[in-house]
Structure 1
């Protein structure tokens, strides 16, 4: 007699027999075992014997990783060559679509955010009555409002990071992205047109324009990180090679657009000043040249930001797909407050790592400028021109870009990866600040200023090739999808408190004291990274989501997969005993069973959807259709179902509507 219900692929039975409720006499074959191994043990993470890369000895692991990476590099280079043969500009277009566009918001943010520091020396020379520090100068503007320029900008960023992070998890990534671009566009209009009847009125307008723009800037951090990461992961249930091998590169490549924003800002400021100052970069600088320079420098990115509003509104309609799927799975319609509470309960150590390390990094990031002001004065013999400072800053941004790109190249390497990169970056910055701290006069003398200058550039390099890149990605991928933007925004906001600490602290201590204080933040960053930061390099992000599903259901101790492998947990988590849950064999059995249930559920949903639309006379057609579909499945998977001759009833799905099954079974009984 024909079976009416959807059969399910149960996978290989670990005991040697196949536990099929539909085909009890069936024994699995080798082809089916290979099929499940290919799905559950991909060859970029498991060797031929099914051993996870982190379970291998160090020598075998190194050989496996180098072999896998070599194969992937050849594949990618082959694809690039194939694209180039068809169209020489195709690789450029690919890079633009996959790396530049996802980070366009951060590029524009980097352009404007860092222009504030670049414009300050121009304002000091062009508007001495307001900004000047000489005798009789700087009296037209309130010192409080001048200091508020940096403070209010940072406060706006913190506000945006927290609020937009919550909005991104509540309304979706797409709306957060559109909102950020819109706010930044309006903020740039305000910055371009800012005015005042007095110098002090102009400064007040400048401060509030920066605050408003900062709100949009702050939102870019969680939105770019989460949308870029989830785009790499994809929306299907099966993980992808792009996620496992290139997730970090994809996010870091978007983040490094911030460096390009700084670069283009400095280039344009130099060109604009030369244009409006009659081809000369030397003082004195007129008010007219100063105004044209800074206003045009803000107007140019406004055009790009308006285009970004259009692109995100009409070309990124699926940016929230991953979040929507997660909410549907958890039966959540609004903001998932339950997941937020559980995140602080289960991932408290990770919050200390991502937020704390970001705080330490931002103190260092702003402390890096301490070098520049010291060595430029010696190298240029304390020139009154702003051009040497701008040119040296341009070189420094170029060095930083080298650090960004090397970070994107190695951040997914399983032998190095995120945690080692952040720890080494903090350690090198600590050393590079500590060396001159206790011998500052020696290194700032004319005879040894080159060594000082070298340490400045190296500190910039290791800051990008280290904590500045890793904090951005770690703050997103350490947490579940439901609260990923919130957690990233919170971590970034704590980081900006580090920038605020530096902005306030540096106003009250001299240069020598600054060099005494700053290095210890780097050492604190090393401690936080070693103790509390998990290493998510090579970890399938969907496997982490799978672990979260267990935690969300109150069964966290029943999870035994690679997300609790000692390699992917922090020292703090290992000390709490979480790594003891890892059991590769038991996890494989669980994953096979989960695939069976997912397939049954999918078939049941399809069956219920069609059954609800049919009357009693159409049951025979429905029976035939599903019987055919089941046999097609067996044919594709090389399985030959053996029925024992007994009549089968449709197995009801747990938690599902069983009315269609009951109707079918009643029809059979009749």
Structure 2
């Protein structure tokens, strides 16, 4: 009677309550609850602080592109340098996604931090016998930075999600957003603020000093949390659910194929729109501002970045109330509405620069509200701990592939169809994003991640997998501790 009452009060189904109680009854003999809780707090804090660095690196080229175009109008290739970061991020997301599942979140996070610092130092020191050689060094350096920032997506985000789940499962969604997409989004205006301060300190000249200092400052933020990252612990979820040998990838694909189509497809569409519109927004604004000085362009760019931030907070407030899936479709709807408004009235709206920047910012804010917030959250919640980093990395890598394609296609679209079509195509992507989300993205209610882990484990066992999960202090043979009702449910789905 008491067990039934507790299950009813918790709001869990009987099999779900059995899962939670079975895991809670198996504490680690090596790590105290207090030590684990402290590690979880530092993991969440450090993830947020480090992801500011990622946002800074992703958005730094917005104004640096404008500056380098003025300093080296014939030698500089903005697309190549911007795509170097993207290609590095794609490789980093897939590689570190696998690494953080095999070797642990901590090892992956420490490595990505080092890569960002090393790449930032090399970018700052970019030089060569010719200007062309200098830009090739910058391209390689930005690729190394991209590997680090790309790896941060699965490593930091999965560890933050697992830590938040252990601290406060019901508020995991809003907390995750506030330490992932908020710092990533804040990195945009933050990069512009740093750029404007450095440009002012250099009296709006000495361009080489400006971009080198801005690259160098990007090394500081990951170093400030490096010590805490070395000291962090892997989450209890990881130490119980990791699969380090004989990963059944075919079963993983059979179990998660629909979710993978949803997160990969939606992320591709989101980054296809948002990345080139962020990277080239400075160029767009500088082409329509009357006083086309770098300082004036930067000030309008800062306003654009600030307007895009409220969407993050609104999405965080709505994710538990409306559901992750509905909020993501709402955000894609913003692309449709604001993309069509800007695209269809481009010639008129660009004559009123403040109005153009406001609508441009609202389009980006709707992206933050929906897919910007929800894609990382859903990718960290939809997949079991043993393959969370891998599936998250694949989804994010498809997103960055969309960003690379969008960046490469942006200039040809402008040149051949006109600038208005960059916004009309964003509206079209919004419609496709709504459809992909509706048909393929799972509806996650925010339940304890341990429940999804044990349901996945029951599915593997029901399909004949007999491997091991977890690390030494919380290792479990495949079917150990799975409630009979959960195993029966998995067998019934076959």
Same fold flag (TM > 0.5): yes
Please list, as runs of the form range in 1=range in 2, the aligned pairs for 1:505-520 lying within 5 A after superposition.
505-510=409-414, 511-520=419-428
Q: Which residue of 1 aligns with 2:295?
A: 387
**Cα distance in 2, alignment partners of residues 357 and 251 from structure 1:** 19
8 Å contact from structure 1 (residues 157, 216) kept in 2: yes
8 Å contact from structure 1 (residues 368, 459) kept in 2: no
User: Shift of the alpha carbon at 1:423?
Assistant: 0.2
Q: TM-score, normalised by structure 1?
A: 0.62
**Cα distance in 2, alignment partners of residues 146 and 268 from structure 1:** 20
Q: Which residue of 2 aligns with 1:439?
A: 345
Q: 1:34 to 1:555 in 2, by over 3 A?
A: farther
Q: 1:197 to 1:500 in 2, by over 3 A?
A: same
Q: Which residue of 2 aligns with 1:220?
A: 152
Task: Report which of the two structures shows the higher radius of gyration computed on alpha carbons.
Answer: 1
Q: Which residue of 1 aligns with 2:171?
A: 246
Q: Which residue of 1 aligns with 2:462?
A: 554
8 Å contact from structure 2 (residues 44, 164) kept in 1: no
Equivalent residue in structure 2 for 1:502, among 397, 406, 410: 406
8 Å contact from structure 2 (residues 300, 357) kept in 1: no
Please list, as runs of the form range in 1=range in 2, the aligned pairs for 1:536-555 lying within 5 A after superposition.
536-554=444-462
User: Shift of the alpha carbon at 1:501?
Assistant: 1.1
Q: In structure 1, the residue corresponding to 2:446 is in which secondary structure?
A: coil
Q: Which residue of 1 aligns with 2:247?
A: 337
Q: Which residue of 1 aligns with 2:441?
A: 533
8 Å contact from structure 2 (residues 335, 426) kept in 1: no
**Cα distance in 2, alignment partners of residues 506 and 156 from structure 1:** 20
**Cα distance in 2, alignment partners of residues 548 and 95 from structure 1:** 24
Structure with larger RCO (C-alpha < 8 A, sep 6+): 2
User: Shift of the alpha carbon at 1:453?
Assistant: 3.1
Q: How many pairs does the alignment contain?
A: 444
Structure 2 residue 241 is matched with structure 1 residue 326: yes
Structure 2 residue 206 is matched with structure 1 residue 302: no
Structure 2 residue 371 is matched with structure 1 residue 429: no
Q: Which residue of 2 aligns with 1:262?
A: 188
For structure 2, the 5+ residue unaligned runs are: 17-37, 465-481, 490-494
Q: Which residue of 1 aligns with 2:371?
A: 467
Structure 2 residue 307 is matched with structure 1 residue 399: yes
Structure 2 residue 76 is matched with structure 1 residue 155: no
**Cα distance in 1, alignment partners of residues 445 and 366 from structure 2:** 19
Q: Which residue of 1 aligns with 2:207?
A: 290
Q: 1:461 to 1:512 in 2, by over 3 A?
A: closer
Please list, as runs of the form range in 1=range in 2, the aligned pairs for 1:625-640 lying within 5 A after superposition.
none
8 Å contact from structure 1 (residues 249, 411) kept in 2: yes
**Cα distance in 2, alignment partners of residues 551 and 589 from structure 1:** 12
8 Å contact from structure 2 (residues 455, 486) kept in 1: no
Structure 2 residue 69 is matched with structure 1 residue 101: no
CA-to-partner distance for each residue in 1:402-452, whole Å, 9 max, x for gaps?
Answer: 221222222223xx0211110010011112112232332232334xx5543
Q: Which residue of 2 aligns with 1:65?
A: none
8 Å contact from structure 1 (residues 479, 487) kept in 2: yes
Equivalent residue in structure 1 for 2:62, among 110, 117, 129: 117
Q: In structure 1, the residue corresponding to 2:308 is in which secondary structure?
A: helix
For structure 1, the 5+ residue unaligned runs are: 1-32, 53-92, 133-137, 235-239, 557-586, 595-670
8 Å contact from structure 2 (residues 286, 297) kept in 1: yes
**Cα distance in 2, alignment partners of residues 388 and 94 from structure 1:** 44
Q: Which residue of 1 aligns with 2:5?
A: 37
8 Å contact from structure 1 (residues 371, 452) kept in 2: no
